[in-house]
Amino acid sequence: MTRIIQFQTNFSVGELDPLLRARTDLQQYGNALETAQNVIVQPQGGVRRRPGTKFIYDFGSSFTDFKIIPFEYSVTDSYTLVFVNQRIYVFKGGVLQTNINGSGNDYITATAITASMLDELNFTQAVDTLILCHEDLQTKRLVRNSDTSWTLSDLPLSFIPKYAYALDFHQPTFTITPSAVDGNIEITASSTTTDTGTAQAGSSSTITLKAASSFTSDDQPNGMFIKITAGTGSGQTRHVEDYVASTKVLTVYPDWDTAPDNTSSYSVQPFWESAVGEYAVAVNGFGRARYIEYVSNTVMKAYVETPFFDTDAIVSGDWESEHGYEDTWSSTRGWPRSAAFHEGRLFFGGAKSRPNTIWGSKVIDYFNFDTGTGLDDEGVEATINTNQLNVITHINSGPDLQIFTTGGEFIVAQANIDPITPSTFLVKPQTRIGSKPGVPIEDLQGATIFVQRQGKSIISFQFTDTTASYGTTPLSVLSSHLLNDPVDLSVRRATSTDETDRLFLVNNDGTMAVFSILQSQNIIAPSKFVTDGAYVAIANELATTYCVVKRTIDGTDNYYLEQFDDDVTLDSAKTGGAASSVTMEHLEGKTVEIVRDGVVEASQTVPASPFTVTFDTAATASHQVGQNYTVTVKTMPAEPQLAQGSVQAKKKRIVQVDAIVYETQNMTINDKLVSFRNFGEDVLDSAVEEFTGTKTMHGLLGFSGTGQITISQTVPLKMTVLGIEYHMSVGN
């Protein structure tokens, strides 16, 4: 029988994947835990009871889909926006803002934003404006006017880029003349027959012109434009596909949205405003120009993409009109999927009909995506074409413009500090991991954090000087078991040296994986949060973490907004000062704990109406009432480094444990309660004093095959464990 002493100085690895249980050779093994439930790993290496949550708002059972978006308006004004089906709730400092826009409602009406969109609702913010994106939602902007005044409207795009979804060609019957062979030019149509009047009839793809039409021969107006100027179908412009002089029937492309009839006035001419974005192409290959501005019915401004041979007139038959272009974003084609502001431009990434394309606005003209003549400040556009599908899930403004897709990670490469321009807008692949749609990305300590496409790992995407390119690092390689189809992600940045940055990851099963990260010390320490219910959504408003939690009350799933609070040791708690009772209607029928002036009173069940929980003794300074949660910290199977080799197969007994604790009031070691106070006068009606130092536990009985130590806590008081020394007896 061998007696040894082991000292686990810290828990900075957090909970280790069960698949690594045999990897005693890993350096991390000695500082890891088999279980780290409802604890936070501190930067110094200790673990402490996780913060409890304060009850903020009851959404009831009508809504089941949620999206939380933080909105920072100024240094003094920040908000938490909770999106549900067709509504947006505004919270400031954890307080619901009421009578929004003087409507009497406690929410912003958002009829177009439905529950099915919330999972993949993307956003970006600039000052007082939040831009909201989803491929099935006409892009919105939410503007904060005051705490209770908000304006939600369609994003006022002044120019939408065009795309030839159904490319078509015509050979117009008129002559055109370019004013120059290259650059910005004008294209002038020859003097040609035009026609105006009131139609005789119409159908889905035709219009019968007036009986005395100016067009007297077949195909005469082919390649021109016809516009309904009044009457039924007014405002529509179409290309002329064909004309039959004997019947006066003119065929259009594409079909009318509203078929004209004998009340419809029309005008047929070479050019209309709708020609913008289309092309005039010389069939011999010498000349291709994009129309950029309508001047008159015979003149268009254009930008030459392929130089013309000369400035001579190009007769009918030697040139063709390339059209079929329409707005890239529309109710028919869908809308942008993601957005980001970067270097004075608004960028959109992906759209329903063009999922692998990215667009940038004109510089400081955020709602204008006109590529114009390719000047440095004009709009930009690029499509990611590789040997796999790359549906853009997110874009991010980092050191470079970063593009995350289902197939890999890309950047818009910039040489030195050169700005993005149409001539330098080049998308380059970096890594091929792929990101999961619907789960946000976050900036953290110079890296961009995202969840891998299948939801199996958390990835850090960061520029590395050694390779002068971006690379990825898996943050969850030692703890991938804590990930179960993640649905939401958020980061809380440290505010003091006693904290790490925290990465919160909500799983589909209602648990939460929380990673304590301090990269300067190589600390990536995960733990698992559970509660009586299921976590649904998460977000951080500056240093405050909010979550939506589903809790089953009297057989019905209710959804609550709750706030993590370091001073609270219960969940869904109500807190306050001096009081003798508290109303807990949101936890009707649930067992709740009461911490009154630091004293833990007997548990109570919340009664039916009026739902009042009355304290045994009135609180004079503070109280909190809520649901308890169990804290469990379990060490890895013991593997001391002995000369005779491994002891994995040997029986082990923990003889003594010395736990080094900080400001701790309660804990249990291997099912034995540790004493934190002595009996004396009035001791049972006073708060347990916080203890800092070493607590020793003797008399731990029984042999096991693992020699593990379990530290737990079932009483809602403070607990911080910095390290443990233990004496272990190893059998032969």
349-358 confidence digits (pLDDT tens)? 999 999 999 9
Least confidently predicted of 33-37, 144-148, 428-432, 464-468: 464-468
78-127 confidence digits (pLDDT tens)? 999 999 999 999 999 999 999 999 999 999 999 999 999 999 999 999 98
Listed in sequence order, the residues at least 6 apart from 149 whose beta carbon sits closer than 8 Å to its beta carbon are 100, 101
Query: What is the per-residue DSSP string for 256-304?
Result: -SS---TT-EEEEES--GGGTT-EEEETTSS-EEEEEEEEETTEEEEEE
Q: Work out whether strand 32-37 and strand 14-15 pair parallel, antiparallel, or are unpaired.
A: parallel
Cα angle 488, 493, 494 (rounded to 5 degrees) comes to 140
Cα angle 594, 595, 601 (rounded to 5 degrees) comes to 60
Asked if residue 681 has pLDDT above 60, the reply is no
Residues in the chain: 732
Asked if residue 682 has pLDDT above 60, the reply is no
| Mean confidence (pLDDT) of the chain | 93
> Would you say 207 and 243 are in contact if contact means Cβ atoms under 8 Å apart?
no
Q: State the virtual CA torsion across 595, 599, 603, 609 in degrees, nearest 10.
A: -50
Q: What is the CA radius of gyration of the chain?
A: 34
CA dist list (Å): 392 to 86, 264, 421, 536, 682: 25, 44, 21, 24, 65
> Would you say 36 and 514 are in contact if contact means Cβ atoms under 8 Å apart?
no
581-633 confidence digits (pLDDT tens)? 999 999 999 999 999 999 999 999 999 999 999 999 999 999 999 999 999 99
pLDDT band at 3 (very low <50, low <70, confident <90, very high): confident
Q: What is the pLDDT of residue 691?
A: 95
pLDDT band at 679 (very low <50, low <70, confident <90, very high): low
361-371 confidence digits (pLDDT tens)? 999 999 999 98
Asked if residue 684 has pLDDT above 80, the reply is no
The residue whose two tokens read 């443990």 is 724
| Average pLDDT value for residue range 160-165 | 90
> Would you say 76 and 567 are in contact if contact means Cβ atoms under 8 Å apart?
no
> Would you say 303 and 315 are in contact if contact means Cβ atoms under 8 Å apart?
no
| Average pLDDT value for residue range 275-280 | 91
Q: What is the pLDDT of residue 274?
A: 87
CA dist list (Å): 182 to 186, 304, 313, 319, 423: 10, 5, 15, 17, 17
Asked if residue 540 has pLDDT above 90, the reply is yes
pLDDT band at 159 (very low <50, low <70, confident <90, very high): very high
299-314 confidence digits (pLDDT tens)? 999 999 899 999 999 9
Cα angle 717, 720, 723 (rounded to 5 degrees) comes to 150
Listed in sequence order, the residues at least 6 apart from 369 whose beta carbon sits closer than 8 Å to its beta carbon are 157, 159, 160, 161, 348, 359, 360, 361, 362, 379, 381
> Would you say 314 and 270 are in contact if contact means Cβ atoms under 8 Å apart?
no
Q: What is the pLDDT of residue 646?
A: 76
CA distance 539 to 495: 16
| Average pLDDT value for residue range 467-472 | 88
Q: What is the pLDDT of residue 715?
A: 94
